[in-house]
Amino acid sequence: MNQFKQMFLMHLKMTFREKQAWFWGLFFPVILMVIFMLIFADSDDEFEASVAVVEENPNEVSTAISDQIEVIPVLNVDHQLESQSEAEQLIKDQDVTAAIVLPQSEEDSDVLFLVNAEDEQSTTTQVVSGVLSNIVQQMNLQVVGASETYAVDFQTVTTGEHELSYQDFLLTGLIALAVAQGGLFGMIDLVDMRRKGLIKRLRMTPVNMSLFGLSDMMMRLLFSVIQIFVLALIGVFLFNATLHINILGLVVLFIVGALSFNAIGYFISSFSKTTEAYMGVANIFSFLMMFLSGIFFPIEMMPEWLHPVAHVLPLTYFAEGLRDTMVYSIGIESSAVWFHIGVMALWGIVAYIIGSWLYRRNSIVATR
């Protein structure tokens, strides 16, 4: 314990002296979160599409359709026109999303839908087209005197007691990313110590190299506590994120996750001979997880052939676990939380065992 204590204090002093560690471990995640929060802060706002309505020859049918369009919340009628050519010009200038040309007479059965060719497959165009089709269908039912027999009821079911907003999704994802990067990039000082010959000198002493790595990981765990605290405060008070934390579940998940990523960083340091080599491997692994682990957008939005890769990466389970325990208030009694913990623990244990073996192997080789 005395040896572990001394090595822990040594790593702590080295971290406080290393300004780059503070930047990449704390300030960079804060900057990243602020940028993405500012970009996507309004993503939960109500959907609205601007349209132009063309009524060249007002009649009973065109007036009825126009009245229905006016009361649709998602359709914002910016222009009431009398010429189709005017509507086409507005679409070319991208002043409106689409234009709806109403029937010119009561005998005319066609409603013309005009969109920009480049935006034909966009989500907005599909939504407006669906709304317009529903209006026409309602008009058809009225003409034949039929009434609706079936209707669709829309409800949402959440995993926990609370719903997940995009601010909550992004905040928990970035907290997971910050902790992961802190572990991946935090062990670079071990490579620098080896380059300076300090590791070789330590091998000539009674120092237990496994305890040496473990003390560094525990110090990084303390640093990760600061990360999650600062990021959570910024997300809640500046960007109105809502957290419903299950304390016990979060603590267990956080400790296992932080130690696992520290172990991965320890493993990378065990075979990296230069800081450049270490940063290269850490960056590849970090960027792979950043874009494939559901940090900025759900995994379901990615191509299906990428799903197996995402479900192997440890950051996927750390991010999902944080959302369970910080937003949905799910505790460790949940099998899903224990599954997340188990996958991360497996990554950490394997990485630590291999890293310790490589350090011992290099120690034996160095003494020959």
The reply to whether 60 and 205 lie within a common domain is no
Domain region containing 304: 16-42+165-367
The reply to whether 31 and 103 lie within a common domain is no
The reply to whether 131 and 274 lie within a common domain is no
158, part of any domain: no
The total domain count for the chain is: 2
28, part of any domain: yes
What is the per-residue pLDDT across 168-211, written as a single tens digit (0 to 9) for each? 888 898 889 888 888 888 777 777 777 777 767 766 666 666 67
The reply to whether 244 and 355 lie within a common domain is yes
The reply to whether 225 and 296 lie within a common domain is yes
160, part of any domain: no
Please state the pTM of the whole predicted model: 0.68
What is the per-residue pLDDT across 265-310, written as a single tens digit (0 to 9) for each? 889 988 888 888 888 898 899 889 988 998 888 888 888 888 999 9
The reply to whether 105 and 248 lie within a common domain is no
Give the pLDDT score at 2.
73
The residue from 84, 112, 144 where one domain ends is 144
Give the pLDDT score at 345.
95
The reply to whether 35 and 58 lie within a common domain is no
Of residues 77 and 367, more confidently modeled: 77
pLDDT above 70 as % of the chain: 80
Give me the CATH number covering residue 138: 3.40.1710.10
Question: Would you say 183 and 220 are in contact if contact means Cβ atoms under 8 Å apart?
Answer: yes
Give the pLDDT score at 349.
94
257, part of any domain: yes
The reply to whether 122 and 172 lie within a common domain is no
Q: In this model, does residue 150 exceed pLDDT 60?
A: no
The reply to whether 128 and 238 lie within a common domain is no
Range scoring the smallest mean pLDDT among 103-117, 233-247, 334-348 = 103-117
5, part of any domain: no
The reply to whether 37 and 58 lie within a common domain is no
